[in-house]
Amino acid sequence: MSSVDMYMLYHGLMLPKETHSAESLKFAQEFTFKDDDVAVAVYPKSGTIWMQEILPLVLNGGDLTPIQSIPNWDRVPWLEERRLALVVDKLDSPRGLVTHFPYHLMPPSFHASKAKVIYVMRNPKDVMVSSYHFHRMAQFLETPATLDDFMEKFLEGKVLFGKWTDHMKSWRGSDLGDRIMHITYEEMVQDLPAALRRMSDFLGRNLSEEVIQKIAEHCSFETMKNNNMSNFSLVPKMYMNSDTSPFLRKGIVGDWKNHFSPKQLNRFTSVICKEMEGEIFSLPWSMDSSLTGAEGEKLEI
């Protein structure tokens, strides 16, 4: 299948036709947000399904029923995908949603509501690597020729949901005040209970330490890898071939070091740094272009 058959263009962004349609995008634009809804905004491959595991448990005080009985895509559906229209009436309040939309594509009702949003951001080098492997296993996405080739597409924004920098800048620059919380994938890997405490406070949940520890245990990489409601094993291999690369692949910080050549690192770093010129905020990771540069030390969000 050619890329023309695989993707549709929406406001300049490439979206897979398998999961998106003109109807689903219209449904998203007309979707009515409620004040107690919680949206997770996240660029693909930055921790979406992790948040689909975490959010219901933070909202319901640690009751494991949703993560044990509802597949992740129906439990915390994507705002822009076809499934939402089918499951929206079954969602318990407060509802959790995920979205890969940049801020400016959020529907009018989101802006009119008091719904809160958690923006999850991940080091773009690891996002690129994770996305490369995802494109190899997802049969509804164009298979990358080489890592080099994929990197160029990623830097140009010719991948799912466009350029990483555009997405991140749109949400970092949003005027949502205390309706938005920013967190990084790296913070979550480093200390998940601390990340959960921040989310609990932000969502006014006041979870006990016992509940925080319980949620952390059930949302660990290993537990999720064995949870059939979350590891995509329910999806036929003709759509997602886990023999090529599992969806829950490594779940670590810094896997880019196992993939990038010094030349690729230089190229990647210089493009990202150039696109950050003039921004008032800085990235929370070292964008050092040496392969030995410490990663994850500069976490100050």
Residues in the interface with ligand A3P (CB under 6 A) total 21
> Cβ distance 15 to 161 under 8 Å?
yes
Single residue of 39, 219, 240, 265 touching ligand A3P by CB under 6 A: 219
Q: Which stretch binds ligand A3P (CB under 6 A): 30-38, 86-94, 213-221, 236-244?
A: 213-221
**Closest to 293 (Cα-Cα) out of 265, 252, 268, 263:** 265
Q: Does 205 bind ligand A3P (CB under 6 A)?
A: no
Which residue type is seen at 43? Answer: Y
Using rule CB under 6 A, residue 255 touches ligand A3P: yes
Q: Is 49 near ligand A3P (CB under 6 A)?
A: yes
**Rg of the chain taking only CA atoms, in angstroms:** 18
- The edge-to-edge listing of strands for the beta sheet with 116-121 is 96-99, 38-42, 116-121, 180-184
Catalytic residue among 11, 20, 100, 182: 100
Q: Is residue 136 involved in binding ligand A3P (CB under 6 A)?
A: no
Decide: is 248 part of the binding site for ligand A3P (CB under 6 A). yes
- Determine the interface stretch with ligand A3P among 3-11, 76-84, 155-163, 246-254 (rule: CB under 6 A): 246-254
Residue 100 annotated in active site: yes
142, 149 Cβ separation under 8 angstroms: no
Which of these segments, 44-52, 170-178, 210-218, 271-279, binds ligand A3P (CB under 6 A)? 44-52
Cβ nearer to ligand A3P, comparing 36 with 255: 255
Picking from 78, 90, 66, the residue whose alpha carbon sits closest to that of residue 16 is 78
d(CA 288, CA 266): 9
The span from the CA of 278 to the CA of 275, in Å, is: 8
Q: Is the peptide bond prior to 71 cis by the omega test (within 30 degrees of 0)?
A: no
Chain residues binding ligand A3P by CB under 6 A are 42, 44-50, 126, 130, 133, 189, 219-221, 224, 248-251, 255
Catalytic positions are: 100
